[in-house]
Amino acid sequence: MSSLKLGNIGSLVTFSSQSSSMICQHDVELIIENSTIIEVGKKLGDADFFIDCKNNLVTPGFVDSHTHPVFVHTREDEFHMRLSGLDYNEINKNGGGILNSSRLLRNASEALLISKVKSRMDAFLKFGTTTVECKSGYGLDTDSELKSLSVIDKVNKMHDIDMIPTFMGAHDFPLEYKNKKDAYVDLICSEMIPQVAKQGIAKFNDVFCEKGYFNLDQSRHILLTGKKHGLIPRIHADEFSCFGASKLAADLKVLSADHLMEIDKSGIDALANKSIIGTLLPGTTFFLGKKKYAPYLDLQKKGVEVAIASDFNPGSCNIQSMEFILTLSCIFMKMNILEAIKSSTIVASKSLMIDHKVGSIEKGKKADILVWRIPDVKKIPYFINQNQINLVLKNGKPVFTA
Ligand code: NIG
Ligand code: FE
């Protein structure tokens, strides 16, 4: 058993379960034994190893609770089509978008996907993300969805980062089911979900509940079927249009309703009444060049707990840096920086049901820790174009040094 001490910490910013709020402590140290934080306090004893934080900021590692990282290529051609005036949904209707990624993924070997996903996970770690939720959803047939989840499982076993797998067969309707959408919903419910559950390779079940994609009835059926098979529901809701997805989220008591750019007052009330976490993805709004960000302040006023995540994917958001997502949250959603850290650590971990293990720097939690090269949190959103993280500890082990 070896121990590690982090000393000369300028400020330690974390959620505290004791006070149920974010705290900022000075002159504290922490001791890690193997992969666990065993003590946080003043003037602690010696340890086998020492890291000098040089009076800089220390925070928990980011928990990115919404990503779509299992794909072959990025889709910059579509980015440029959007710049010339085409809309995200128009591009998708013309064979671009999710179906474009799906064609490539179906033909890709598992080995190729493993190497692609592995290097994306390297980048996440470098940006300080120590836990990442990963969705399937570019396969859209049973074999390719299982292949995607198997890739997540295999990379998770070989990589330092922790990956939390979500089945998202309901990401779009594949071409062969274009004119028989309910038959695809049947395929998801009678074949994909049972096999995913049998293989035990997904924790959550997600649906793109959106105009032109999965309607309320289809989404409800898919999420309830998943639930019966032990897959916990989460949902893409009110991203481009508002027709009741947040109310469905509340009705089904999903773990998290995500996107919410177009959520209305009654949707906000529904989430608040059932204590559903709202996961906001400002990177997508920004990347798509849209003006209307999710109404963070309205959600907050009504008491909805808010997580923020990257939504990293090849179409609507090629952003992996949570530091940048924090900046966007502050500028465009008027989030206060401490709230932004809370949303991207403890609340995000709660939305993945792992808040007993990660998301804060407290005794007994995993030592997933960031040492920054700045003394306090105010500099995070201000220095927009710099990765200001000096050192990433995952399970108490340095996995990235600037
Ligand atoms: O979360 N909203 C649906 N899915 C992704 C985009 C996927 C893609 O365009 O490839 C999202 O934004
Ligand atoms: Fe998404």
The residue to mutate among 99, 135, 171, having the most atoms of ligand 1 within 8 angstroms of its beta carbon, is 171
Give the Cα-Cα-Cα angle 218, 223, 226 (nearest 5 degrees): 125
Give distance in angstroms: CA of 38 to centre of ligand 1. 40
Buried b / exposed e along 330-369 (16+ C-beta atoms within 10 A): bebbebebbbbbbbbbbbbbbbbebbeebbbbbeebbbbb
Give distance in angstroms: CA of 126 to centre of ligand 2. 22
The pLDDT of residue 162 is 98
Give distance in angstroms: CA of 132 to centre of ligand 1. 16
Residues 277-325: pLDDT tens digits?
999 999 999 999 999 999 999 999 999 999 999 999 999 999 999 999 9
Q: Which residues contact 49 (CB under 8 A, 6 or more apart)?
A: 2, 3, 4, 5
Q: Is 285 in the pocket of ligand 1 (CB under 6 A)?
A: no
Beta pairing, strands 397-401 & 129-135: unpaired
Which atom of ligand 1 is the closest one to the Cα of 88?
Answer: 9
Residues 349-392: pLDDT tens digits?
999 999 999 999 999 999 999 999 999 999 999 999 889 999 99
Q: Is 97 in the pocket of ligand 1 (CB under 6 A)?
A: yes
Q: Is 208 in the pocket of ligand 1 (CB under 6 A)?
A: yes
Beta strand ranges found along 226-298 (DSSP E): 232-237, 256-259, 277-280
Q: Is 168 in the pocket of ligand 1 (CB under 6 A)?
A: no
Residue 285, Ramachandran bin (φ over 0: left; ψ between -120 and 50: alpha; else beta): alpha
The pLDDT of residue 153 is 98
Low-confidence stretches of the chain (pLDDT < 50) are none
Distance, CA of 215 to CA of 32 (rounded, Å): 48
Q: Is 316 in the pocket of ligand 1 (CB under 6 A)?
A: yes
The pLDDT of residue 311 is 98
Q: Is 68 in the pocket of ligand 1 (CB under 6 A)?
A: yes
The pLDDT of residue 322 is 98
| Residue type at position 130 | T
The pLDDT of residue 89 is 79
The pLDDT of residue 96 is 86
The pLDDT of residue 93 is 75
Residue 229, Ramachandran bin (φ over 0: left; ψ between -120 and 50: alpha; else beta): alpha
Give distance in angstroms: CA of 15 to centre of ligand 2. 26
Q: Give Cα 105 distance to the centre of its chain.
A: 21
Model pTM?
A: 0.97
Indicate which residue's Cα is closest to atom 8 of ligand 1: 315
